[in-house]
Amino acid sequence: MKVLRRSMLEMDESVVAEFEREIGFMQRTRHTNLVRFFGAGRQDDGTPFLVEEVMSGGTLKGLLRGGRQHGMQRPLDWLTKTSLAADVARGMAYMHGLGHIHRDLKSANVLVTGTTQAKVADFGSVGLLLTERQRLRPAFQASGSSLADLGQTQGVGTPLYMSLEMLRHAGYDESTDVWSFGVLLWEIAAQASPDLLEQQGYTIGPVYSALVHCLEDGHRLQTKAEWPDAWRSLMARCWHQEPGSRPAFAAIVQALDSSSPLA
């Protein structure tokens, strides 16, 4: 069960709207790589809740960085990594096919079954994909958000996973989810936090301007030579500066399926 905290209900009406948007989307969709919805209601005090399928594996973020044996992080093999990535891509391809974009795709918003199947979750930020590129209201101000906010969702999106056009507050479309998926690919490969600012030596200052500066200068998360060529190539395509040059999720699924023998 997912229950909206009473304190949040009283402080911010937009939180309720986001919660109701998530319920509405889940009621209308069903796919093996989207978390399944069973019902929704309100408690006696009016607090809304929704009921989803049990995902005993927890979040993908927890699987990638939380599993430890003998004090060391447990590495996943490439077959498992490829399977997880393809699961997410299939779920996203389905969403985009229905005319929806997620806008906050990240490892914390992907859940895992007991058999290590990944399913996209947390649809509070889901939006309709319009023919015109959408406009993003500022998710954070250059003078406000600090490096401590990197993993937090503010407005729409999470800083470390945001496309350059979202960080610029410019128009965006389904390709912004593709950028986020590229970051997720890196995270699955590295089993580490995809912190571009740490990589580039930023330790203080506003997130917004620092990330825009890094990405506009062409900096991207660094890949490793031992990673499969298909993965490194796919990441580069997902992070293309021009949104129209990024692959669609249907092509991503095909690329990952064909790369599985490399695992």
For residues 132 and 206, membership in a common domain is answered with yes
Per-residue pLDDT of the chain (263 residues; tens, 9 = 90+): 766 665 555 545 666 666 666 667 667 778 899 988 776 777 777 677 777 788 899 999 999 987 544 445 688 999 999 999 999 999 999 989 888 888 899 999 999 999 999 999 876 655 554 433 444 443 433 334 444 444 444 446 789 999 999 999 888 899 999 999 999 999 999 999 999 999 999 877 788 899 999 999 999 999 999 999 999 999 999 999 999 999 999 999 999 988 654 43
CA dihedral for 19, 24, 25, 31, sign (positive or negative): positive
For residues 62 and 30, membership in a common domain is answered with no
For residues 105 and 225, membership in a common domain is answered with yes
Q: How many domains does the chain have?
A: 2
Domain of residue 28: give its range. 1-53
DSSP conformation class of 147: G
Last residue of a domain, one of 16, 33, 53: 53
For residues 40 and 110, membership in a common domain is answered with no
Here the CATH number for the domain that contains residue 258 is 1.10.510.10
For residues 69 and 5, membership in a common domain is answered with no
Tell me how far CA of residue 11 lies from CA of 15, 23, 96, 163, in angstroms.
9, 20, 32, 29
Query: And the tokens for 15?
Result: 């939180």
For residues 149 and 211, membership in a common domain is answered with yes
Tell me which residues are annotated as active site: 104
Give Rg (Cα) of the chain: 18
Q: How far apart are CA 35 and CA 247, in angstroms?
A: 24
